[in-house]
Chain A
Amino acid sequence: MDIFANLAHGFAVALSPINLLMCLIGALVGTLVGVLPGIGTIATVAMLLPITFGLPPVGALIMLAGIYYGAQYGGSTTSILVNIPGEATSVVTAIDGHQMAKQGRAGPALAIAAIGSFFAGCVATVLIAVLGAPLTKLALAFGPAEYFSLMVLGLIFAVVLAKGSVLKAIAMIVFGLLLSMVGSDIETGASRMAFNIPELADGLGFATVAMGVFGFAEIIRNLDAGAEMNRDLVQQKITGLMPTKKDLIDSTPPILRGTVLGSILGILPGGGAVIASFAAYTLEKKLAKDPKRFGRGAIEGVAAPESANNAAAQTSFIPLLTLGIPPNAVMALMVGAMTIHGIVPGPQVMQKQPDLVWGMIASMWIGNLMLIIINLPLVGIWVRLLRVPYRLMFPSIVIFCAIGIYSVNNAPVDVILAGVFGLVGYWLIKHDFEPAPLLLGMVLGPLMEENLRRALLISRGDWSVFLTRPLSAVLLAISFGLLLLTVLPALRAKRDEVFTESEN
């Protein structure tokens, strides 16, 4: 019954007018940041940190948390409408979401993303309140070996979500891994493949590459002669704004499964939340009766990853609230916000700062409610945005992307690099390579390499750690099984093809 008392206390804190206002501001700014391509959550939270100086600590953190999960809501909007994922977690949403938009179903896609996120957010908030403390053990059970195996599993997911050739998908992942290695080596500090360009010293930014291969490449492709026809078609086809009854029935199980997966993976510091969205997508694709629909506008392909990433965004607060250890860069900034206010988060923060912890948990639920109230009516406006003639739309997207990328590090070179990746992305499209596995390889690459090297350092070069540690062994076994499931049908198909040809 302790939990109810705590939650009641939390709601009392969160429902005070000033905190409600902070929550609303956070949700609004978060949505805005998520919708604007290129502007990352990290950059915004960093920029807004000084403002929180003048606010009471609880209000400040409620606002920052609102920006964080609000951006997860907003991020799906650009992914669906213009195929530009602003965060690693919305790469997967772009695959089927943008296809739906092209079929005139942007409204249902956006609505289902909001509904899924809301549901997942509610469940995950309850989970934090009820199981936060025991779940912390999971975060501590994951050592370098387990993380490496998890990343391998993540990369296999990336293969599964490709809709074309498996060989090409694997090649794209490896290309992404190579790109992720540009920059300083974590262990020795040596500069790798950076050609003495200072801006490359810390590697290629996710936003830079994502804006390039998704955003700019899509624009350039749409400007190709002959592409006008398709575009006009999209604009005429827009049908209902809200999902149909069938959409809702189809999406319910994916939302439930996505929420569960996301909640579990979100707890893992460093990379768990990133994997959540495509783990959910892969699961749906494998469970679907007709996996071919995926990548061609399946509503499940939007519902599942969106629920998963929002659930993960919420549960990723668990390590912060119970251990005092920030699991990702945004959380690290929140720790900064707490330290500025003289609260140093640690394992005892739940006992010492009940106002802060329970107020924040309660505000997450309120924030999710606000977000769905803000976002559902916005669907109509976003969809209307698609009716803007493309000749005006595309230069605007270019400018928004350029400003967004520039603002991440205030580095003009990043903008040029994004342009170069736009050309790379154009080339990829022309040769039927998919950009999503590339981006996922790039995001997971550093995590995989670092943890592999850490695990081998700790085991003194003994590779068997990956199999002797039970969690790691299970993860590797799942990866292997999944790879077999994916590659075998493809091989069989190839062989059949070869046989039919030789008969001719």
Chain B
Amino acid sequence: MAETMGHSATATRNTSVAIGFCLLAIVPQIFEFIWSIGTIFGWGAGRGPATVLISHATALVAGAPAALIGAAGGETKKASSEVLLALIYSYPILAVAIVSLFMTIRSAQDYVGGVILMAVALFALWASSDLQGMRGFSFGAGTAPRMFGGLLVALSAGIALTGLLTDGPGMSHYSWRGPLFVMAGIVFFALAIRPLGLVVTAFASFMIAATGSNETRWLEAAVVGACLTLGCAILFPYVLGLPMPMFPRFLVQ
């Protein structure tokens, strides 16, 4: 009885793990797509969202299998970067996702950790695939990244395997409020420091980051934030002599 229950529990769990990995397999593509939306508003250069979507979709669905068949047939045509991404990164992760469905995961912490690390390694392999390899006796730019990328794939596979073979802790709980607001504070700081200057930015970032905790008392935080801002405004530019804009640009000029 207990065994069937345990089994069904892992089964549902495995489906979500597998779906998670499928998403992981196309994270770079999604990221580039989101990034490309910015080009509509004229932020940054690069391809538009439509081009990105079409090129990745064709690479994933048609280009990569064609390249595989071509390679099997002995063709050595240079594959495009999208096709390489699909081949080097997406397909192996998708394969792992499918395999996960049929496995008993004994330590989700290790298994999922290992697979995500493997994704990082595969991504690094793809990112260094355009670099030159060995040139005679001397290393090319790409030799070391590929060497260590390959090593990391093997090591992370080992970690994932440990997660299948030995019992260990399951997934830990991730919370969202802390990471979200702390990150928001950091990003705001990065975007605002140049145009708005240290005083405004430090205070605003302090308040945004403070939102990340449910213990925050607003009045207290505002007072401490103001004092901290004042302290920073004296300490960094004057005591340490770091060149930093102090006040918003539109007020100075």
In the complex they form, whether A and B have CB atoms below 8 Å apart is answered with yes
Question: Interface residues, chain A, CB within 8 Å of chain B?
Answer: 29, 32-33, 39, 43-44, 47-48, 51, 165, 167-168, 170-171, 174-175, 177-178, 181, 185, 187-188, 190, 192-193, 195, 216, 219-225, 228, 389-392, 394-396, 398-400, 402-403, 406-407, 410, 412-413, 415-416, 418-419, 422-423, 426-427, 430-433, 449, 452-453, 456-457, 460-462, 494, 497-498, 501
Min CB distance B161 to A, Å, is 10
Give B residues with C-beta under 8 Å from A.
109-110, 112-113, 116-117, 120-121, 124, 127-128, 131-132, 136-142, 144-145, 148-149, 151-152, 155-156, 158-159, 162, 165-167, 169, 171-175, 177-179, 182-183, 185-187, 189-191, 193-194, 198, 202, 205-207, 209-210, 212-213, 215-217, 220-221, 224-225, 228, 232, 236, 239-244
CB–CB A391/B140 < 8 A: no
Lowest 4 A-B CB distances belong to which pairs?
A461-B137, A223-B178, A431-B113, A419-B186
Q: Which of A392, A406, A410, A419 contacts B187 (CB 8 A)?
A: A419
Other A-B contacts than A225-B173, A399-B232, 14 sampled, CB-CB below 8 A, are A167-B159, A175-B152, A193-B145, A220-B182, A390-B215, A391-B210, A402-B205, A403-B232, A413-B190, A419-B182, A419-B190, A432-B109, A452-B139, A501-B167
A300 CA to B3 CA, complexed, in Å:
48
* Complex Cα gap A399–B217 (Å): 18
A146 to chain B, nearest CB (A): 18
Pairs across A and B, CB under 8 Å, 18 listed: A44-B240, A171-B117, A171-B156, A178-B120, A181-B128, A192-B127, A223-B177, A223-B212, A390-B215, A395-B209, A395-B212, A398-B205, A398-B206, A412-B190, A415-B189, A422-B179, A423-B179, A452-B139
On chain A, the residues within 8 Å of B194 by CB distance are: 412
How distant is the Cα of A400 from the Cα of B186 in the complex, in angstroms?
11
Residues of B contacting A170 in the complex (Cβ-Cβ under 8 angstroms) = 155
Residues of B within 8 A of A423 (CB): 179, 183
How far, in Å, is B42 (CB) from chain A's closest CB? Answer: 18
Whole-angstrom distance from the CB of A48 to the nearest CB of chain B?
Answer: 6
- Look across to chain B and name the residue whose beta carbon is closest to the beta carbon of A177: B148
Greatest chain B CB density within 10 A among A48, A395, A412 is at A395
Q: Which residues of A contact B166 (CB under 8 A)?
A: 494, 497-498, 501
Q: Is the CB of B224 within 8 A of A188?
A: no
The B interface is mostly helix, strand or loop, or mixed, namely: helix
Complex formed: what's the CA distance from A492 to B149 in Å?
Answer: 28
Q: Which residues of B contact A413 (CB under 8 A)?
A: 190
Q: Which of A47, A48, A174 contacts B155 (CB 8 A)?
A: A174
**How many Å lie between the Cα of A426 and that of B242 in the bound state?**
30
Contact, CB under 8 Å: B182 / A223: yes
Whether A407 pairs with B128 at a CB distance below 8 angstroms is no
Assess whether B175 is in contact with A407, with CB atoms less than 8 Å apart. Answer: no
Contact of A453 among B121, B138, B242 (CB under 8 A): B138
| Contact, CB under 8 Å: A216 / B182 | yes
Complex: how many Å from CA A410 to CA B243? 8
| Residues on the A chain within 8 Å of B232, using CB | 399-400, 403
Knowing A47-B241, A167-B159, A171-B159, say if A456 contacts B216 (CB, 8 Å): no
Q: How far is the CB of B118 from chain A (nearest CB, A)?
A: 10
A177 CB to closest chain B CB (Å) equals 5
Which residues of chain A are within 8 angstroms of B236 by Cβ–Cβ distance? 403, 407
> A418 and B186 in contact (CB under 8 A), knowing A392-B224, A398-B205, A453-B138?
yes
User: In the complex, what residue of chain B is closest to A416 when comparing beta carbons?
Assistant: B190
- Name which residue of chain B comes closest to A410, CB basis: B243
Closest to A461 in B: B137
CA distance A39 to B173 in the complex (A): 33
> How far is A398 from B228 in the complex, measured between Cα atoms in Å?
12
Alpha-carbon distance A43/B244, docked complex (angstroms): 13
Given contacts A185-B141, A223-B175, contact A399 B206 (CB under 8 A): yes
Contacts of A390 in B (CB 8 A): 213, 215
CB-based contact B190/A190 at 8 Å: no
Contact B189–A392 (Cβ < 8 Å): no
Cα distance, A431 to B159, chains bound together (Å)? 11
Cβ contact within 8 Å between B186 and A415: yes
In the bound complex, residues from chain A placing their C-beta under 8 Å from that of B202 are 399, 403
* Whole-angstrom CA separation of A400 from B225 in the bound complex: 12
Tell whether, in the assembled complex, residue A430 and residue B174 are in contact, meaning their CB atoms are under 8 Å apart.
yes
- Judging by beta carbons under 8 Å apart, are B131 and A216 in contact? no
A418: nearest chain-B partner, CB-CB: B186
Please, how many angstroms separate the alpha-carbon atoms of A398 and B41 in the complex? Answer: 31
Most buried by B among A32, A51, A192, A216: A192
Within the assembled complex, what's the spacing in Å between the Cα atoms of A33 and B242?
A: 12
What separation, in Å, do the CA atoms of A44 and B240 have in the docked complex? Answer: 7
Chain A: minimal CB distance from B175 (Å): 5
Residues of A within 8 A of B142 (CB): 192
Chain B: CB-nearest residue to A423: B179
Which of chain A's residues have a CB closer than 8 A to the CB of B145? 178, 181, 192-193
Chain B residues within an 8 Å CB radius of A433:
113, 117
CB A175 to nearest CB in B, in angstroms, measures: 6
* Chain B residues within 8 Å of A392, by CB: 220-221, 224
Chain A residues with CB under 8 A of B140: 188
Q: How far is the CA of A48 from the CA of B241 in the complex (A)?
A: 7
On whether the beta carbons of A178 and B186 are closer than 8 Å, the reply is: no
B9 → chain A closest CB, angstroms: 20
